[in-house]
């Protein structure tokens, strides 16, 4: 079952899969920047290849995490330090989200069989609302694989409609 939770997290579904509605954008953890290099260069006002503590003040999240980002403690955050920090932070966020998703699934799965019946799905508004669509084999239960398949399909259609 663990590989299915990993897949769910890779799809970015940890907040909405089991339990309440998805968290607000500000609560979702680190958000990827579309063009990280361009963003870094924009913050590097003096164009010396590093962001000083003063330059970081223009970006509250960076200012808040400056000490942790400045791995070599030279008072400057290089692009490499910034990238390494972001990677570590994202890994920590994914691990936390994975643990929380598994806990929500286990809580909803009252009988511990690894599947959610229609009754058990009531503990998860999202699963309850889409239960029939998720129950691909129509056996009256939703497995983690069915949930992952549904969410992957749903996200693919959602991306296609934005196009």
CATH number for the domain spanning 89: value is 1.10.238.10
Question: Are 139 and 90 part of one and the same domain?
Answer: no
Residue 62 within any structural domain of the chain: yes
DSSP string, 60-104: HHHHHHHHHH-TT-SSEEEHHHHHHHHHHHHHHHHHHHHHHHHHH
In the chain, the number of structural domains is 2
Residue 73 lies in a domain: yes
- Residue 50's SS3 state is strand
Distance, in Å, from the CA atom of 20 to the CA atom of 127, rounded to the nearest integer, reads 10
For residue 29, which phi and psi values (nearest 5 degrees)? 90, -165
CATH of the domain at 125: 1.10.238
138 and 157 in a single domain? The answer is yes
The DSSP bridge partners found for residue 115 are: 143
Domain range for 74 is: 34-99
Determine if the pTM surpasses 0.85. Answer: no
For the chain, 163 residues long, give each residue's pLDDT as a single digit of tens.
Answer: 445 444 444 444 444 444 444 444 444 444 455 577 788 888 899 999 999 999 999 889 899 999 999 999 999 999 999 999 999 999 999 999 989 988 999 999 999 999 999 999 999 898 999 999 999 999 999 999 999 899 888 876 655 555 4
């Amino acid at each position: 079952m663990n590989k299915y939770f990993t897949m769910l997290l890779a799809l970015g579904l940890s907040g909405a899969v089991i339990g309440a509605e998805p968290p607000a954008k500000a609560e979702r953890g680190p958000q990827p920047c579309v063009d990280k290099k361009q963003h870094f260069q924009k913050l590097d006002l003096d164009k010396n290849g590093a962001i000083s503590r003063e330059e970081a003040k223009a970006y509250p999240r960076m200012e808040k995490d400056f000490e942790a980002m400045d791995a070599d403690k030279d008072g400057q955050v290089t692009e490499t330090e910034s990238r390494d920090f972001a990677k570590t932070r994202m890994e920590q966020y994914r691990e936390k989200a994975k643990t929380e998703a598994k806990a929500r699934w286990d809580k909803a799965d009252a009988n511990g069989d690894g599947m959610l019946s229609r009754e058990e799905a009531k503990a998860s508004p999202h699963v309850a609302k889409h239960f029939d669509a998720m129950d691909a084999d129509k056996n009256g239960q939703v497995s983690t694989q069915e949930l992952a398949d549904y969410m992957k399909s749903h996200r693919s259609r959602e991306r296609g409609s934005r196009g």
